[in-house]
Amino acid sequence: MYDVIIIGGGVVGASALREAVSYGMKALLLEADDDVATGTSRANSGIIHAGYDAKPNSLKAKFNVRGNALCYELAGELGIDAKRIGSLVVSTKEGLKGLEDLEKRGKENGVDVKIIRREEILRIEKNVADDIEYALYAKDGGIISPYKFTIALADNAVINGGEVILESKVVKIDNNGGKFTVYTENGKSYETKIVVNSAGGHANDINAMLGDEIYDTEFRRGDYFVLDTKEAKNISTVLFPLPDERGKGVLVAPTVDGNVIYGPTSIKVESIEDTGVTGEGLDIIRASVTKSYKCPNYRNVIRVYAGVRSIVGGDFVIKWSDKVDNYFILAGICSPGLTSAPAIGEYVAKEIADRLGKKEKKKLIPNKRTKHFASMSVDELNELVKEDPRWCKIVCRCEKVSEKEIVEAINSPVKATSVDAVKRRARAGMGRCGGGFCAPDVMEIIARELDIPLTAVKKGGKNSNIAVSYVKEDGIDV
């Protein structure tokens, strides 16, 4: 019997799992896909929002501001990078009133913000558009990798006694007088005292299993351009336009891994699965970027992608169910959900701990920080190669990723069992060639480490097998 089962392996679910473990709970996270961070948590901007945009006294404001501080605090414990590079909301002189309204809102939320003029803007970001006169500056804005953050939270939970079971889509939940039996697609079942619905865009599906409220949910797709690391020299902060009724607008920002992104759009779609990038979306980005940034360079685009966020009204849904005892609902965790996630996890775990009578928190064992070939000195590498020659075999040339790093990713606490899962942890395939050179080698290493046939290795997700057979395999008509 588990104390709590969390459904959904996004950044919010992973944070709730880690916090539950800190109270000594027997805690399990069930994820439908073959890795955590495969939905909205994978495909967003990776921005640590300062907290000026959310309406005062809203859940978004409360959890954004607390989450901002926690993101930077947790990064060291989790062994990942979080960079406090500041953010600018820029406008022409016609937008000054909008910036003043945003500044007032930010100060009500307790955020350190101020309006600055062009001369000061240029000291922070030299490549703002020529007609930009004013900006709202938030020194606590920053960047973090959304998928590495999620993975690190889940890994840390497992290191400290939590459980993560992948490829376990929940298909049925029996409510046995306040205790639950959770059934998964693969025929397994798990008993628990408390269920947390952190299923993101599938939150209504879980609610329906328990006869709870079905929320009116809007899905919005965000398209992005990703640029080569050589573009990083042109942008030093997070650059936003003035927000409108559709959201925060198309931003320009560096990533913690050295790339640059343009995006997202905010295009209404029918479901959380509608993640296909469109020409319409990319055209919107092209038209929008130049309003804030004067040197976009589409020749250095190395890929495009899209993510879908789910919106339930104007705020987050974070509450105990009004209909089902011991059932906690997390829904509509759209922007600033990534920044808010550690604060939401903290809150949810405290609520559950109080209900279960668990008062004491334990200090968690931190993650071991992963070493990367690309960031080490020659002397450091020479020492490591003496211990393990796999450090000197480069598998991914674009990102300079060694075989040792890939092996460590595969054997991490939440194992990477697909090419995409390895990519999210070790960056093999994240470079200009998109895995064109390294993917076959990554596949062979996965097959070897997991002791599975090459034909069982997947790109990422159900039915994504890459190899059908060996070309000269007997009995195969190629």
Neighbours of 456 (CB within 10 A): 14
Q: Is 409 exposed, middle or buried (0-12, 13-18, 19+ CB in 10 A)?
A: buried
Tell how far CA 407 is from the center of its chain: 23
Distant-in-sequence, close-in-space partners of 234: CB < 8 Å, separation ≥ 6: 127, 260, 295, 297
The Cα 221–Cα 311 span in angstroms is: 11
The Cα 304–Cα 283 span in angstroms is: 12
Neighbours of 421 (CB within 10 A): 29
Alpha helices per DSSP H over 23-95: 59-78
Angle at 255 between CA 251 and CA 260, to 5 degrees: 60
Contact predicate 158/43, CB 8 Å: no
Residue 56, preceding peptide bond in cis (omega within 30° of 0):
no
Which residue is catalytic, options 4, 27, 37, 49? 49
Contact predicate 81/256, CB 8 Å: yes
The Cα 316–Cα 318 span in angstroms is: 6
Q: Where are the beta strands (DSSP E) in 100-217?
A: 113-117, 134-138, 142-144, 163-165, 170-176, 179-184, 189-197
Distant-in-sequence, close-in-space partners of 27: CB < 8 Å, separation ≥ 6: 2, 3, 4, 5, 6, 17, 20, 21, 157, 161, 162, 163
CA distances from 92 to 98, 135, 295 (A): 10, 9, 17
Alpha helices per DSSP H over 160-298: 203-209, 279-289
The Cα 410–Cα 426 span in angstroms is: 9
Residue 88 identity (one-letter amino acid): L
Element (H, E) at 190: strand 189-197
Pick from 58, 72, 42, 3: which is nearest to 461 by CA? 42
Neighbours of 103 (CB within 10 A): 19
Residues facing residue 238 across a β-bridge: 87
Written as six digits, the tokens of 382 are: 């020479």
The Cα 53–Cα 243 span in angstroms is: 8
The Cα 122–Cα 132 span in angstroms is: 10
The two beta strands, 142-144 and 163-165, are unpaired
Q: Is 49 a catalytic residue?
A: yes
Residues assigned a catalytic role: 49
